[in-house]
Amino acid sequence: MFYNRSMPELPEVETIVRGLKQRIIGRKIKKIWTDWRKYLRASGGENALRKCVIRKKILKIERRGKNILFSLSDDCMLLVHQKITGHLLFGKWKSVNGKWLSLKSGPLREDKINQYLRLILFFDNNEALGLSDVRRLAKVRFGPTQTIISLPEIKGLGPEPLEPTFYYKNFKALFNNKRGRIKPVLMDQDFISGIGNIYADEALWLARIHPLSRAEKLNEAQLKRLYASIKRILKKALALHGSSIDNYRDVSGRRGGYDVVRYAYQRTGEPCPRCKQPIKRIVVGGRSAHFCPKCQRH
């Protein structure tokens, strides 16, 4: 069940990036705190992080797939992949009896999911960027920009589906040498980036394609529908600030709104919004897939 948790995908990560851009560009990092040094081990540990980020300014924040890249002064870069239970928060915290307490009222103080702070970067004005992560599975990497952008998981990323230059012909070309069930294919970050369990199910429902369909057997009409559906679903979810089915929150700790309007994902037994047949759940590649057995024939 654990691996069926919904991790932040393109709309959630993009919402976080937009929220952070408004709040922390130009801020200088003053100090760091963590109670989970394991995050930092792969890039050299806590002292290496200090060297990379302390007294550095945040110049740029970008999303690549589900990764967040912070460009810092002196050509340093910090990468955060929130993984299954992590989300970045912007706030002001003070330590009370060894626990971080939000100085702002509202969701940062009231929603339990915002209180599993494991890593905090404090800025020169005492505001801070915190990583709340119940299961401590987030990925943090840092170092010279070139080192970070050369990581295979960044370099190998497939095209961004919401890029204005990602045309139908580009999408179709991805299928030239691709074989496999369509759902895992869509979730393959090297094939196309940013799509995970939630939006693969949603896009396939909208395109009326069965999750077990073979990628190499989709016809032109299906590919066209799938291309349009991916763009439409991701844009809609982004407009609603993502889905808070499990742990995801925006940088202010607020829930997203897409889960309320979602069509098929984790709606097993509920009527299909198109034809009223109950939504079914199957397992594909170790992950659950939700679909309408009538609209999405195999």
Q: Which residues are catalytic?
A: 8-9, 66, 287
Of the pair 120, 206, the CB lying nearest Zn ion is at: 206
Of the pair 237, 272, the CB lying nearest Zn ion is at: 272
Rounded Cα distance between 225 and 13, Å, is 25
Q: Is 218 in the site for Zn ion (CB under 5 A)?
A: no
Q: Is 207 in the site for Zn ion (CB under 5 A)?
A: no
Least CB distance from residue 246 to Zn ion, whole Å? 25
Q: How many residues bind Zn ion (CB under 5 A)?
A: 7
- Of 275, 278, 285, 298, the residue at the interface with Zn ion (CB under 5 A) is 275
Q: Is 208 in the site for Zn ion (CB under 5 A)?
A: no
Q: Is 294 in the site for Zn ion (CB under 5 A)?
A: yes
Q: Is 232 in the site for Zn ion (CB under 5 A)?
A: no
Tell me the window of 82-90, 219-227, 255-263, 268-276 that interacts with Zn ion (CB under 5 A): 268-276
Q: Is 224 in the site for Zn ion (CB under 5 A)?
A: no
Q: Is 274 in the site for Zn ion (CB under 5 A)?
A: yes
Binding mask 97-136 for Zn ion (x = CB under 5 A): ----------------------------------------
Rounded Cα distance between 75 and 148, Å, is 11
Least CB distance from residue 231 to Zn ion, whole Å? 21
Tell me the window of 11-19, 147-155, 169-177, 265-273 that interacts with Zn ion (CB under 5 A): 265-273
Chain positions contacting Zn ion, by CB under 5 A: 272, 274-275, 277, 292, 294-295
